[in-house]
Structure 1
């Protein structure tokens, strides 16, 4: 087995060989397979390339330190993505706390490019709704509907039962619908107000 090329081995075999031999070539193969996917997932959370790169680096450092705890009852990819999601959620929570601490700073209304903003507001309604739910809720929705994780895999990631996972998904979807409708109504009222101002 040790004489096989790393590229021909399954993820779980690479983990076993790395843990037993500590040879970097096995971990490097895992990194090659998943670093871009982890980076893209981080980018979907932070929308900043530099931060996403930093997150990816930190996540793989975590993977190295925790790889001995990997249990083959789950796929390696699921285990890796659970670390990725949990890390991103932790960082988003910290960022949210920092933002709440700086809420006293006044916000300025920028009138430039108002027409462009009005045109793009509706398609941004869904994104704005995603930004208003908790990091846990956002992660669960992305896992289910973007990354197509199974209910079982999501339950394992969040360490809750499958029935609790289904209930959380249902509640989060209902919350998203409510937030989206609120955004659409607010946007419509704003557009109407702008149009009335232009007519005066």
Structure 2
């Protein structure tokens, strides 16, 4: 099965309904789907539940896969949409920047751990001011490195709409991040003045 592409496995599963083909797809992609769900939920049990729900949805919708994009892009779209639906619910409002924190951590040595932690907290606060759609769009482009065309296909909007939404989301994130930075600088200045 390793020599078969995802798209070939999908075709074979649809034609034969043999579970081994779907199991091969599941084995290839379950860890990535779980990690994506975990990046939304920050809760291992919920991420496992989301992953289970997503693969149940995939097996029932597999016949709707039309190969207009790669299977992995289609799977990401289903994963993203499921997570976004769950995050839009009143019970799930927070999305964290764990992956971005890890990225910051790779550039810091042990002496910079506090600085990295502060930067990650500011970035996390700034991300929480974005809507789930804005956060999701930024994560698709800059964390998952999905092309503008593939994002447009998964979101069912034009490429120019994706570019415009990305530009607005980046500007909003930048503005909120700078506001958080200025706030902390003012607190630090006030603390230093009081200390003298």
TM tier, smaller = 0.7 to 0.9
- From 44, 58, 67, the equivalent of 1:63 is 58
Distance 2:6 2:42 in 1: 29
- Corresponding residue of 1:46: 41
| TM superposition shift of 1:120 | 3.2
Answer with 1 or 2: which has the greater Rg: 1
1:57 and 1:153 map into 2 onto residues whose CA distance is: 24
Q: 1:98 aligns with which of 88, 91, 112?
A: 91
Tell me how far 1:142 sits from its aligned partner: 1.0
SS in 2 for 1:7: coil
Structure 1: which 5+ residue stretches go unaligned? 1-5, 101-115
Separation (CA, whole Å) in 1 of partners of 2:187 and 2:119: 12
| Counterpart contact for 2:86–2:92, Cα < 8 Å | no
User: Is residue 179 of structure 1 aligned with residue 176 of structure 2?
Assistant: yes
2:185 corresponds to 1:188: yes
C-alpha distance after superposition, 1:81-134 (max 9, x if no partner): 00000111111111xx2378xxxxxxxxxxxxxxx9898333321122122211
- Equivalent residue number for residue 82 of structure 1: 77
Unaligned runs of at least 5 residues, structure 2: 94-112
Partner of residue 9, structure 1:
4
Specify the alignment match of 1:170 in structure 2. Answer: 167
Matched length: 177
Partner of 1:138: 135
